[in-house]
Structure 1
């Protein structure tokens, strides 16, 4: 269920959240505030509005009901009238329902539009940009957001995605800052990743009580997969086939639970790229791994990877790999290899539990070393490590590795996360999956490992 703040952002209302269900509307134009209140009335939402402060007294409604409230016959008809009238920006109700949030964010970032259409579920959405707009920055932005687009004419962009995805993109863009566009595509991707990482680090979910974090991860992952389910034990499982699907089937895994709950009122302390908690654990073990895999899932949409990806976000890892052990065996039948993201430090490619329990043929680990070297990601080396869900996948005969994700001193109040190292793990997994053909060749040369 989306919060009221999310619902407003996705429809293009520019409000300042001032607390639980309280919003300052003084920075929003009057016509948009009036339309917002009309929509709330249609949705039978209880609210008060005094001195520019909107207070909602009802629980958030589902987005389908909210869209019914903000939609009306011929909404968006005559698009571009604001531009011809000399206005800098359109009003929300002048825009098609599914593109209104996206268009307002583009204009906020100085990427000025003069027309748009959400496709009405019959054709691709498209946006017309004003001639003063830097289209190189526009295309860079789409690439960073990992949205497939086509430049139809010099200032017309066709978005090769369904209109529902436009709501997600608008929400992603709300936290973007103007100077990000000057720093390039990779900077934008990293900053959006850090936003997601921080969000995940603030969601509770100790072992056995993962419902809230599971709901958030499911919501974020759903647009990027073909199938998603929560199994009988609470593990979140998903998969998607990319391109022809003739390449390898790779399992990507992180765990949802933290070893203990977050301390009430704690905050995330940031010293440059190094994050810690004001008190108690930070929870980067393994929220950092979860964030990495969500970022990879987005990237796969526009990548050249050919094959199938399965995702396993497990529960109760911290109390004995219990969630992973409860996954039905058939889920693994077609899996060729696994990549786990749940290792402290930087640069470790864990290929065994200690020296007694192998996770893979050493050639699988060496493939990762070679990829890192080829793309200039220095410092990645095969090593032995500790316990993780990787042990479960290896026991199924699956070639598996566990990668460092940048945290240190996990399970203690001294836990820290190197966010630069964490993002390098994103880049590393992308590089591995970009070489899906070589990965397939490597896997074909290996036998399934012997269960211990």
Structure 2
């Protein structure tokens, strides 16, 4: 590789400011417009084509400058888990449904913003002082909760309005605390990679919608692009606590501080072995921290990408983060930087020969 392709990407103030802007904005599944407009403005100076398809995906192309370029699709979903208003009870209280894989145990007392006006509210339920013993020993059901906008919010929200967590990004040393790191980390990563796209790659970047409710945007985007290979860039749950009994935690999924998580298998995808080997080789040759995500539940847009048309060789590379699908996640800047560099070096090293021979 030339010295240019060996450049090391850094996560500095500009990148952290970008991530803060993305995470502080709202984009619950099916209502990604605010995120899409931020990304559109950020990538416009660096790309050749920008389109929004019928689903709302933002499809971006950075053309190769060399002949016989390999067509590579990078995918990052824009949406986050959240809520939808379904009925007003009066006095600023609203019934709601959750959108995406929310955890009811985490809902109570979380601040939210509702609708395009971003009305401030909180998710409330019966106070502990009035709860029965049985209620104290049970998980509060969503049906027993309300989004409370206060008296000033009476009549302000309507059925179908979206609500998102109102958490703002905080940095503490190497740690980032924010909502929607799943998957604004992926979106910020794609934005940075578009700035440094190698000349021999036809780079097809899809910022997709509705991943959290069924990989819906990715299905459409991959059909449109039909790449030679696809890489889903996401955030993956880390459960790396020590066990209370002192035994080794062997079911951690992935660990903070371990670098990008390369997927071998998840609920929806068996990653292409050729791409797993390739990313492993790139990481080791460039001395980049990496880890394998433990096979198991969950999944990424790769679950839709690899099933497109005649099949697309696919793999997922994700930034590990704790407390996914809650009001605040925690990730490490160093893991994000390692993910950026692994993807950058992989794009620089990609050739069609990587996919030569049958998948095995």
Q: Does the alignment reach a TM-score above 0.5?
A: yes
Q: Give CA-to-partner distance per residue, 1:8-42, whole Å, 9 cap, x none.
A: xxxxxxxxxxxxxxxxxxxxxxxxxxxxxxxxxxx
Whichever structure has more helix as a proportion of its residues is 1
> Structure 2: how far apart are the matches of 1:317 and 1:421?
23
Residue aligning to 1:299: 196
Residue aligning to 1:75: none
Task: Evaluate the alpha carbon distance shift between residue 380 and residue 247 of structure 1 in structure 2; reply closer, same or farther with a 3 A threshold.
Answer: farther
**1:253 and 1:340 in contact (8 A); partners too:** yes
Task: Evaluate the alpha carbon distance shift between residue 399 and residue 383 of structure 1 in structure 2; reply closer, same or farther with a 3 A threshold.
Answer: farther
Q: Establish whether residue 343 from structure 1 lines up as the match of residue 246 from structure 2.
A: no
Residue aligning to 1:384: 295
Of residues 271, 280, 290 in structure 2, which corresponds to 1:359? Answer: 271
> Structure 2: how far apart are the matches of 1:198 and 1:255?
17
**2:25 and 2:35 in contact (8 A); partners too:** yes
**Unaligned ranges ≥5, structure 2:** 84-110, 114-165, 239-258
Task: Evaluate the alpha carbon distance shift between residue 414 and residue 195 of structure 1 in structure 2; reply closer, same or farther with a 3 A threshold.
Answer: closer
RMSD across aligned C-alpha pairs, in angstroms?
A: 2.4
**Unaligned ranges ≥5, structure 1:** 1-142, 147-184
Q: Establish whether residue 432 from structure 1 lines up as the match of residue 346 from structure 2.
A: yes
- How many corresponding residue pairs? 252
Whichever structure has more strand as a proportion of its residues is 2
**1:242 and 1:308 in contact (8 A); partners too:** yes
- Offset of residue 245 of structure 1: 4.1
Indicate the structure whose relative CO is greater, using CA pairs within 8 Å and at least 6 residues apart: 2
> Structure 2: how far apart are the matches of 1:244 and 1:359?
28
Q: Give CA-to-partner distance per residue, 1:81-131, whole Å, 9 cap, x none.
A: xxxxxxxxxxxxxxxxxxxxxxxxxxxxxxxxxxxxxxxxxxxxxxxxxxx
- Offset of residue 379 of structure 1: 3.0
Where do 4+ consecutive residues of structure 1 move more than 6 Å? none
Once the two structures are superposed, the pairs formed by residues 14-29 of structure 1 within 5 Å of their partners are none
Task: Evaluate the alpha carbon distance shift between residue 204 and residue 252 of structure 1 in structure 2; reply closer, same or farther with a 3 A threshold.
Answer: same
**1:240 and 1:309 in contact (8 A); partners too:** yes
Question: Could you say which structure has the larger radius of gyration?
Answer: 1
> Structure 2: how far apart are the matches of 1:228 and 1:329?
16
Of residues 45, 50, 68 in structure 2, which corresponds to 1:228? Answer: 50
Residue aligning to 1:331: 225
Task: Evaluate the alpha carbon distance shift between residue 288 and residue 330 of structure 1 in structure 2; reply closer, same or farther with a 3 A threshold.
Answer: closer
SS at match of 1:263: strand
Q: Establish whether residue 322 from structure 1 lines up as the match of residue 216 from structure 2.
A: yes
Task: Evaluate the alpha carbon distance shift between residue 424 and residue 229 of structure 1 in structure 2; reply closer, same or farther with a 3 A threshold.
Answer: same
Task: Evaluate the alpha carbon distance shift between residue 446 and residue 364 of structure 1 in structure 2; reply closer, same or farther with a 3 A threshold.
Answer: farther
- Offset of residue 224 of structure 1: 1.6
Residue aligning to 2:23: 201
